[in-house]
Amino acid sequence: QKFLIQWILALVIGVVFYFQLGYSFVYVHWLGQITLGLVFILFSAFIVVAFANAFNISDGLDGLSSGLFLISLMAFLVISHSMLDSFLAIFIAILIGSVLAFLYFNVYPARIWLGDVGSLSLGAVLAVIGLLTGKIPAVGLIGGVFVIEVASSLIQILGKKYLGRKLLPIAPLHLYFQKKGWEEPKIVMRAWLLGILFAMLGLYLAFL
């Protein structure tokens, strides 16, 4: 039921993008602008649902997802500023301030948490910001840690469903490191470092 509601809301977002904002294309640096037509509605809905769930899956350790989200927002702030999109830049700046205030209380040991409501909605917001910039490949890189987290869970689910066994010792990935004995703050800090690297690569790709 939750997954169905996500798709309904994501399709509404896709319809708004296509009919009200006039978005029907994806820009890929090596291929140029690719026009998708009505398929853009399904494409944008998929991006929204994917990032919403990727964020939710990553929200398993104190400060992990919110810190990665903050890093991604800073990268998108640079992109929106370079596009002279002042409205998007102001929105991102306000969101950065809000997330900073939240992260202060969410770092280990956390005193407040996002829960499904917070993680799913912020993941969807990240996807919408990425779609508004029109640089989808860069979005995948900037949110690279989220992509890795959801990919590890997907691999595990597919392995159980079609092969009848686990392909990974445990999923998502942050739980694997925790099982190996890494302390929670160490996992989070190293994920943030990887997130910064992905953000820099995404910015490089966006400005190619």
Handedness of CA 178, 182, 186, 189 (dihedral sign): negative
One-letter amino acid of 140: G
DSSP state of 114: -
**Predicted local distance difference test score (pLDDT) of residue 206:** 84
The average confidence (pLDDT) of the chain is 92
Tens of pLDDT along 66-93?
999 999 999 999 999 998 889 999 999 9
Region 195-207: mean pLDDT is 92
Is 0.85 surpassed by the pTM of this model? yes
20-to-24, 72, 203 alpha-carbon distances in Å? 11, 26, 28
Q: Is the peptide bond before 137 cis (omega within 30 degrees of 0)?
A: no
**The token pair that represents 104 in the structure block:** 């202060």
CA–CA separation, 21 vs 23, rounded Å?
6
Tens of pLDDT along 26-51?
877 777 778 888 999 999 999 999 99
Q: How confident is the model at residue 16 (pLDDT cuts 50, 70, 90)?
A: very high
**Predicted local distance difference test score (pLDDT) of residue 164:** 86
Question: For a pLDDT cut of 90, what percent of the chain falls above it?
Answer: 74
CA–CA separation, 191 vs 183, rounded Å?
13
- Does residue 25 have a pLDDT over 90? no
The Cβ of residue 14 has, within 10 Å, a number of other Cβ atoms equal to 23
Tens of pLDDT along 123-182?
999 999 999 988 788 888 999 999 999 999 999 999 988 888 888 888 899 999 999 999
CA–CA separation, 30 vs 7, rounded Å?
30
- Does residue 9 have a pLDDT over 90? yes
Residues 58 and 149 sit within 8 Å (Cβ to Cβ):
yes
Strands in the chain per DSSP E: 25-28, 32-35
